[in-house]
């Protein structure tokens, strides 16, 4: 049966009143179920409830407000920097410690072989290897062999070497209890200092020996030894007498014994340097 015009007019009027009623209640949208159009779901705020109750005689039941839920995001875990990032932030200091080596001196000397890596091999008689106690707490490093060392294939056996032996004994040690070596193992012509290129060929072998022994203190004798071990441009006159650091090992720069033979007035300063070494070693 088709609805009459009056029925439609009455439905329209009731719909208008109902929408007005929802407006007063603060409802701006409604959700209509597709299965049951006659059922309407709404959520009414407390303010709208009070407003509606003041305008209508029937109480309106509101859905109670819920406390807001605090959403916490998980704290990000700290990221561990890799070796390259650490080095970029802190330079070499973060990883600048000497790694223990399980090599032997004989393996290193085998690698050196009958060395022809730099021009110094052309005038040498012998390759002069590091000598002494391979478990020493104290190591001495010079620059290169002289004539006597080249002839005997032993470090520090000439006049400068004899003075070094006296210095070692003066601090309460014996020559055989320490380790003695040079940056270069072949004698430069005329006992000149080795060039940076010549030193760069030979220095890695010395550093490998230091990694094996890991002495507590290294005494560098003269400018060449100090600069090649520490990589500094500072002169020996300013650097001497103050402990430096090589990968966690204390380094005491002092004058070369050959220099002391030329200028005996520097012996007192050298003695002061070696007393600091003695006191450190106890």
Q: What is the pLDDT of residue 6?
A: 73
Q: How do beta strands 40-41 and 31-32 pair? A: antiparallel
Q: Summarize pLDDT for 178-212 with one digit per residue, the tens.
A: 999 999 999 999 999 999 999 999 999 999 999 99
Cβ neighbour number for residue 52 with a 10 Å cutoff: 20
Q: What is the CATH number of domain 99-281?
A: 3.40.470.10
Least confident of 56-70, 113-127, 223-237: 56-70
Residues 6+ apart with CB under 8 A from 259: 222, 266
Is residue 269 over pLDDT 70? yes
Q: What is the pLDDT of residue 181?
A: 98
For the segment 167-186, the average pLDDT, to the nearest whole number, is 98
Q: What is the pLDDT of residue 236?
A: 96
Rounded to 10 deg, the angle between the 196-213 and 223-230 helix axes is: 70
Identify which of 41-45, 46-50, 102-106 has the greatest average pLDDT. Answer: 102-106
Helices marked H in 171-262: 196-213, 223-230, 236-239, 257-262
Quick one: 54 exposed, middle or buried, by C-beta within 10 A (0-12, 13-18, 19+)? exposed
Is residue 254 over pLDDT 50? yes
Confidence band of 140 (pLDDT split at 50, 70, 90): very high
Pair 248, 169: CB distance under 8 Å: no
Q: What is the pLDDT of residue 147?
A: 97
> Which tokens is 44 given?
């009414």
Residue 40: strand pairing partners: 32
Is residue 37 over pLDDT 90? no
Q: What is the pLDDT of residue 202?
A: 97
Q: Summarize pLDDT for 45-66 with one digit per residue, the tens.
A: 455 445 444 544 445 454 455 5
CA dihedral 212, 213, 214, 216 (to 10 degrees): 180
Per residue, the 3-state secondary structure of 172-185, as one string, reads CCCHHHCEEEECCC
Q: What is the pLDDT of residue 89?
A: 45
Is residue 251 over pLDDT 60? yes
Q: What is the pLDDT of residue 165?
A: 98
For the segment 111-129, the average pLDDT, to the nearest whole number, is 97
Alpha-carbon gap, residue 91 to 165, rounded angstroms: 39
Rounded to 10 deg, the angle between the 196-213 and 105-112 helix axes is: 160
Alpha-carbon gap, residue 42 to 56, rounded angstroms: 18
Q: How does the average pLDDT of the chain come out, rounded?
A: 83
Q: What is the pLDDT of residue 17?
A: 75
Question: What is the pTM for the complete model shown?
Answer: 0.67
């Amino acid at each position: 049966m088709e609805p009459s015009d009056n029925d439609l007019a009455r439905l329209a009027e009731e719909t208008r009143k109902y929408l007005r009623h929802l407006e007063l209640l603060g409802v701006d949208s409604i959700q209509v179920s597709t299965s049951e159009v006659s059922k309407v779901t709404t959520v009414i705020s407390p303010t709208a409830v009070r407003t509606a109750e003041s305008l209508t005689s029937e109480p309106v039941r509101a859905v109670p407000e819920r406390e807001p839920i605090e959403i916490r995001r998980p704290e990000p875990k700290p990221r561990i920097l890799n070796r390259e990032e650490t080095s970029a932030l802190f330079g070499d200091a973060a990883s600048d410690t000497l790694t223990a080596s399980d090599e032997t001196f004989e393996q290193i000397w085998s690698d050196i072989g009958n060395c022809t890596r730099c021009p110094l091999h052309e005038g040498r008689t012998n390759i002069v290897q590091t000598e002494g106690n391979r478990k020493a707490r104290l190591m001495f490093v010079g620059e290169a062999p002289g004539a006597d060392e080249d002839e005997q294939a032993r470090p520090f056996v000439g006049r400068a070497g004899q003075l070094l032996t006296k210095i070692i004994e003066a601090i309460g040690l014996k020559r055989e209890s320490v380790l003695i070596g040079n940056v270069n193992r072949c004698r430069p012509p005329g006992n000149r200092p080795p060039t940076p290129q010549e030193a760069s060929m030979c220095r890695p072998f010395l550093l490998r020996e230091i990694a094996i022994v890991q002495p507590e203190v290294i005494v560098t004798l003269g400018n060449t030894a100090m600069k090649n071990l520490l990589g500094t441009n500072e002169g020996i006159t300013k650097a001497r007498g103050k402990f430096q650091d090589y990968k966690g090992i204390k380094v005491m720069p002092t004058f070369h014994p050959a220099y002391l033979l030329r200028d005996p007035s520097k012996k007192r300063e050298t003695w002061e340097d070696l007393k600091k070494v003695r006191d450190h070693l106890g």
